[in-house]
């Protein structure tokens, strides 16, 4: 049995904004019933580009429903630009935290928001992303994003945040490869130490003095 906060249980038992906005300006869908979690988000925007209404439909666990409910509450009154800044960490924090094995529910919320905003802006969904986890429909780009935003370092953590690798396990090696690539790319090459002209002159002066001393020591007395 998972240990949920009071806020999670409140949003689960009394979810806000369930349903669908009529003639939505923003619309996003992520996941699938076959994968165990599916989420649909719709929102309405006024002439000032502020979100006036947001609703969701969800098929999933208590965390998935609570995260979607909390997200719709967070969106109301925000401009689209401000809404775009919401991360999965913000969603989880608004609920007082989530069990680590359920963090993927907050990631699902961030993903559906991104797709809804892309729809609002008229950007077509990119279906060319490479699929890494066939069991749960998780792409390489989604894994990379979760790694960078949440500082994940293990396959287990990736599974907790995205569900990738939580099925047959055949994608574990590929997930590890993505982890290694992201971590290596994050390592900045060490910058060479800068040697100032002053330091060079000091070295030259010291070397010259040593030569003069040696020469003086070889002169006949």
**Residue (of 45, 22, 96) closest to 66 by Cα position:** 96
Three-state SS annotation for the chain:
CCCCCHHHHHHHHCCCCECCCCCCCEEEEEEEHHHCEEEEEEEEECCCCEEEEEEEEEECCHHHHHHHHHHHHHHCCCEHHHHCCCCHHHHHHHCCCCCHHHHHHHHHHHHHHHHHHHHHCCCCCCCCCCEEECCCCEEHHHHHHHHHHHCCCCHHHHHHHHCCCCCCCCCHHHHHHHHHHHHHHHCCCCCCCCCCHHHHHHHHHHHHHHHHHHHHHHCCC
Select which of 35, 61, 133, 171 is catalytic.
35
Select which of 61, 105, 133, 171 is catalytic.
105
Instruction: Look up 133 and say whether it is catalytic.
Output: no
The Cβ of residue 108 has, within 10 Å, a number of other Cβ atoms equal to 27
Instruction: Look up 35 and say whether it is catalytic.
Output: yes
Active site residues: 35, 105
């Amino acid at each position: 049995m998972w240990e949920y906060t009071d806020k999670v249980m409140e949003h689960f038992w009394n979810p806000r904004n369930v349903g669908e906005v009529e003639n939505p300006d923003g619309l996003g869908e992520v996941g699938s019933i076959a994968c165990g979690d599916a989420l649909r988000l719709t929102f309405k925007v006024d002439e000032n580009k502020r979100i006036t209404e947001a609703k969701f439909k969800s098929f999933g666990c208590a965390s998935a429903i609570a995260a979607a409910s909390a997200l719709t509450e967070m969106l109301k009154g925000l401009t689209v630009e401000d809404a775009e800044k919401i991360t999965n960490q913000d969603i989880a924090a608004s609920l007082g935290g989530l069990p680590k094995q359920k963090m993927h529910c907050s990631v699902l919320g961030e993903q559906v928001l991104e797709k809804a905003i892309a729809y609002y802006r008229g950007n077509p969904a990119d279906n060319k992303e490479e699929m890494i986890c066939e069991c749960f429909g998780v792409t390489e780009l989604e894994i990379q994003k979760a790694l960078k935003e949440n500082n994940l370092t293990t396959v287990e953590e990736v599974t907790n945040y995205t569900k990738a690798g939580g099925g047959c396990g055949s994608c574990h090696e590929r997930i590890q490869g993505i982890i290694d690539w992201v971590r290596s790319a994050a390592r900045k090459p060490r910058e060479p130490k800068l040697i100032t002209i002053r330091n060079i002159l000091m070295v030259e002066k010291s070397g010259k003095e040593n030569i003069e001393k040696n020469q003086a020591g070889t002169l006949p007395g």
